[in-house]
Amino acid sequence: MAHLPTEPLLITDKAAASPRGAGRRTSLAPAPLPPDVAHRLPWAMSRLRARLRAESTPSEARWTWSQLNTLKRIADEAPTTVSRLAEAEHVRRQSMGETVAALRREGLITSEPDASDGRKTLISISAEGRALLSRIPAVREAWLEEAIAQQLTPAECRILLQAARVMELLADS
């Protein structure tokens, strides 16, 4: 189990900030407690997720985050099964079955019987699915890259990258 650091953190006062961080006041503050982080993190993630969705083109905004995450996981781990996907995404098998069915209806994935176990169906990404995965992140990442360049200092960029690694650790726990 990962532990949060207990050393003081450098806190930046954005209210006093000028563009790109010049003139920001900083102070040492005690490390936040896990309940504080657990309270604020989902809110911040939800807001950023909504903004990233808003930055998608209208034709791409119809895909849910769970559909896109599942499609990405299929691309990375194919061939796979609904059960493996459900376990990896921390959802019920039935919920994952619905997500996979939606992806199949749109031609984003293919499926075939498992040659070694006829009860299983192996899922892979289709050419259409790969094309979708190549378009959507490019639009979202372009906006995010620009926002990061305009709003964050180099030190904040390093902190954000470290936070992303920690969030991945939590997601995989």
pLDDT of 46 above 50? yes
Number of structural domains, the chain?
1
Q: Could you tell me if residue 111 is inside a domain? A: yes
Q: Could you tell me if residue 168 is inside a domain? A: no
Q: Could you tell me if residue 30 is inside a domain? A: no
**Domain CATH code at residue 89:** 1.10.10.10
Q: Could you tell me if residue 16 is inside a domain? A: no
Average pLDDT over residues 21-31: 59
Q: Could you tell me if residue 150 is inside a domain? A: no
How far apart, in Å, are the Cα atoms of 118 and each of 113, 122, 165?
A: 6, 10, 38
> Strand 109-113 relative to strand 25-29: parallel, antiparallel, unpaired?
unpaired
Beta strands in 15-140 (DSSP E): 25-29, 109-113, 121-125
Band of residue 51 on the pLDDT scale cut at 50, 70, 90 = confident
pLDDT of 4 above 70? no
Band of residue 75 on the pLDDT scale cut at 50, 70, 90 = very high
Band of residue 3 on the pLDDT scale cut at 50, 70, 90 = very low
Per-residue pLDDT, 33: 82
How far apart, in Å, are the Cα atoms of 141 and each of 39, 130, 145, 149, 168?
A: 26, 17, 6, 12, 18
How far apart, in Å, are the Cα atoms of 105 and each of 55, 85, 150, 161?
A: 25, 18, 40, 36
pLDDT of 108 above 90? yes
Q: Could you tell me if residue 69 is inside a domain? A: yes
pLDDT of 7 above 90? no
Per-residue pLDDT, 171: 82
Which structural domain range is residue 127 located in? Answer: 65-134
Q: Could you tell me if residue 157 is inside a domain? A: no
Give one word for 162, left, alpha or beta, with left for phi > 0 and alpha for psi -120 to 50: alpha
**Contact indicator for 41, 61 with CB cutoff of 8 Å:** no
Q: Could you tell me if residue 167 is inside a domain? A: no
* Calpha distance 67→70 (Å, rounded): 5
Band of residue 113 on the pLDDT scale cut at 50, 70, 90 = very high
pLDDT of 50 above 70? yes
